[in-house]
Amino acid sequence: MTVTTSLIGAPVDRIDGAEKVRGAALYAAEHPVERPVYVFPLQAAIALGRVTGIDASAAIAEPDVVDVLTHENAPRLASAQDAELAILQSPEVAFRGQFIGAVLAETAEVARRAASLVRLSYEQLTHDVELHPARADLVRPGEVNGGFPTDTADGDVDGALATAAVVLDATYTTPQEHNNPLEPHTTIAMWTDDELTLYDSTQGVHWVRDAIATLFGLDPESVHVVCPHAGGGFGSKGLPHAHVVLAAMAARLVTPRPAKLVLTRQQMFSVVGYRTGTIQRIRLGSDSTGQLTAISHDVVEQTSRIKEFAEQTAVPTRVMYAAPNRRTTHRLAELDVPAPTWMRAPGEAPGMFGLEVAVDEMAIACGLDPIEFRIRNEPDTDPETGRPFSSRNLVACLQEGARRFGWPERNPRPRTHRDGPWLVGTGVAASTYPVFSMPGSRATIRARPDGRYRVLIGAADIGTGAWTALTQIAADALDVEMSDVMLSIGDTDLPYASGAGGSTGIMCWGSAIVDAARKLRAELPIGEPIPDEGVEITGTLPDNPYAGQLAMHSFGAQFAEVKVHTGTGEVRVPRLLGIFAIGQMINAKTGRSQLLGGMTMGLSMALHEHSVVDPRFGHVVNHDFAEYHIPTNADIGSIEADWIDEHDPYVNPMGAKGIGEIGIVGTAAAIANAAYHATGIRVRDVPITLDKFL
């Protein structure tokens, strides 16, 4: 039967919810396989040098140890291009914690104990693991993530700053942070002849397939990757890391038995990527009315000597505010460290901390309310390209948020609100995230004689609600009930799908599904009987005719209330409100959870997260949840996310923008700005710990 009201935007419960609560939803390590061999990695205890000796005799002598994998017996890889993945091809060590082997055993416990018995000797070289802006000899331009130019320059920034009525020149820093999805990175690998099956916890089965096929010199069709559910990723499961290779190599040694590798939380701090620390110098100039005349954002950050990843930290600054003179730069220090990677809103999260605290400082220096200052510097078109925006509703978000947060009643003077021993303040910051697209997604829809529809696409649900949202999109586009749609995702046997990255999943997969549904309905109009043999149609992600003509971005406004204890400096956040302009929301329930999750991670960035590297040894010392702090329920007070009505017909057929990442953007700045309002103390580096107020 047909539906009369749109499913799009409805707060539909997760269709996989009951399965998850019952424990029936299979995560990577839970797929039933016959007699798995358990793999425990050996990791380098030096940050730079080479392995000179491996004595595995004690490990091999343990009962139930099957084998020890090292560079001496590892399979040779077909491609060594990606040095993060091309492990065990030589004795060289490029960072502490790098995989240099593995113990294979009949149980996970035996493998772990036996790994501790392997005696390794090294030739050690002097390493450098510290991000330091003064080391200009190490600093070089890199290719900025997302395909953006490393540097941009318009007008004469130095000249404009020299004549500006108000000038800000300040440095903002953010530390190294680690992705910590609840489900650790996990792979079960299994060879049959020259075919490889991987049960892998990933944000994209086809991305894993393609990378692993290249590495092992296999036809992509010979690599089968399965991941129906993943317990988070935040970017660190976007592309495969070395553990997938280690599992596949181990499985090669024990073919046809499967090899199972579950990383420990501590191992994750060495081998699955992280967000670089950043050092951001921001200079702003304005005239006496608070109109910006110059914006300059120079970033220094780190990468690994063996693989480049340049976080696009200053890229959001290119789109945020109008000014005739503009400049952004990114510089990379190459260090003896693991390769950084994507972590929720790479670029925007650290970059918008710097920019949005700087803008708060500049507004105050100009004697303007920070919302009024932002509105005054709102651009008509994209400041970098001059292109019109497909939609830009930052001002509407700021105004709606201000109304709901009670901003008009705020006394702008810092240190004027007290609650017993607490100083109380409020702050605001803007948020933004680009509307990206990833190429290639296809979806197949099978209309079945029983009147139901099978929708097939190799998409990922990493806990976001994609199972539900894609079913809604398919049912809406087919004009049927959700119960008439059966979705299949998370398997490379399904049509190609790009990964859950860059907040593109629902946009790209949904567009392919809508394309398939429209083609199907052209052939088989609603109400017509489905023929006995069924009908099958494949749709593709269509090219967007507006790409390259319109600037497409989400925007938002983050509001925070912060209390700082006058005696201890303790920082609390009793209230967070985020108002977003994100086009058409697909599922108001799971989508709201995405935004709240992002804001929670923003609070985590503001107050807690900090990967502390010991320069003597080169590793992150606080490599577990006992010492790498993330917020608990007790750290979150009132937290609300909402969105304004935004109609954007240019971004894709659903009019939807990505929502996975924007929630984290700007949150830390809003909290820092509120902490300034509370105390009069300006904190320019996160995490904002109590010592900064004492």
Cα separation, 315 vs 148, in Å, equals 8
The span of 74-82, 263-271, 342-350, 369-377 binding ligand MOS (CB under 6 A) equals 342-350
Q: Note whether 468 and 587 are within 8 A (CB).
A: yes
Q: Which of 238, 458, 465, 556 binds ligand MOS (CB under 6 A)?
A: 238
Kindly list the distances between the CA atom of residue 144 and the CA atoms of 301, 332, 470, in Å, as whole numbers in the listed order: 11, 10, 31
Cα separation, 190 vs 35, in Å, equals 11
Binding track over 343-382 against ligand MOS, x by CB under 6 A:
xx-x------------------------------------
Q: Establish whether 561 is a catalytic residue.
A: no
Residues in 159-218 that interact with ligand MOS by CB under 6 A: 203
The span of 68-76, 140-148, 340-348, 624-632 binding ligand MOS (CB under 6 A) equals 340-348
Q: Which of 101, 290, 383, 501 binds ligand MOS (CB under 6 A)?
A: 501
Q: How far is the CB of 498 from ligand MOS (least distance, A)?
A: 11
> What DSSP state is assigned to residue 579?
E
Q: How far is the CB of 657 from ligand MOS (least distance, A)?
A: 14
Choice between 115 and 438, CB closer to ligand MOS: 438
What would the two tokens of residue 648 be? 């954007």
Choice between 301 and 361, CB closer to ligand MOS: 301
Rg (CA), the chain: 26
Buried residues in 392-405 as b, exposed as e (16+ CB within 10 A): bbbbbbbbbbbeeb
Cα separation, 224 vs 227, in Å, equals 10
Q: How far is the CB of 616 from ligand MOS (least distance, A)?
A: 31
| Residue nearest ligand MOS, Cβ-based | 235
Q: Note whether 580 and 431 are within 8 A (CB).
A: yes
Cα separation, 667 vs 352, in Å, equals 9
Q: Which of 228, 379, 434, 502 binds ligand MOS (CB under 6 A)?
A: 502
Binding track over 467-486 against ligand MOS, x by CB under 6 A:
--------------------
Identify the three-state secondary structure at position 308.
coil
Alpha helices (runs of H) in 222-339, residue ranges in sequence order:
242-254, 265-271, 317-320
Exactly one of 84, 400, 609, 661 is catalytic; which is it? 661
One-letter-per-residue 3-state SS of 400-424: HHHHHHCHHHCCCCCCCCEECCEEE
Which amino acid would we find at residue 588?
A
What would the two tokens of residue 204 be? 């994209």
Q: How far is the CB of 658 from ligand MOS (least distance, A)?
A: 9
What would the two tokens of residue 661 be? 């990442």
Residues in 438-457 that interact with ligand MOS by CB under 6 A: none
Q: How far apart are the first and last CA of the chain?
A: 66
Q: How far is the CB of 343 from ligand MOS (least distance, A)?
A: 6
Residues in the chain: 694
Tell me if 342 contacts ligand MOS by CB under 6 A.
yes
The span of 102-110, 164-172, 231-239, 625-633 binding ligand MOS (CB under 6 A) equals 231-239
Q: How far is the CB of 436 from ligand MOS (least distance, A)?
A: 8
Identify the three-state secondary structure at position 606.
helix
Residues in 641-670 that interact with ligand MOS by CB under 6 A: 661
Choice between 188 and 343, CB closer to ligand MOS: 343
DSSP 663-686: GGTTHHHHHHHHHHHHHS----BS
Tell me if 275 contacts ligand MOS by CB under 6 A.
no
Choice between 356 and 661, CB closer to ligand MOS: 661
The span of 13-21, 108-116, 125-133, 339-347 binding ligand MOS (CB under 6 A) equals 339-347
Choice between 580 and 693, CB closer to ligand MOS: 580
Q: How far is the CB of 261 from ligand MOS (least distance, A)?
A: 22
Cα separation, 209 vs 221, in Å, equals 9
Report how many residues bind ligand MOS under the rule CB under 6 A: 11
> What DSSP state is assigned to residue 269?
H
Q: What angle do CA 201, 20, 623 make, to 5 degrees?
A: 45
Tell me if 273 contacts ligand MOS by CB under 6 A.
no
Kindly list the distances between the CA atom of residue 444 and the CA atoms of 225, 480, 552, 660, in Å, as whole numbers in the listed order: 19, 16, 28, 25
Q: Which of 142, 204, 235, 655 binds ligand MOS (CB under 6 A)?
A: 235
Choice between 236 and 444, CB closer to ligand MOS: 236
Binding site for ligand MOS (CB under 6 A): 203, 234-235, 238, 342-344, 346, 501-502, 661
Q: Hey, which residues are catalytic here?
A: 661
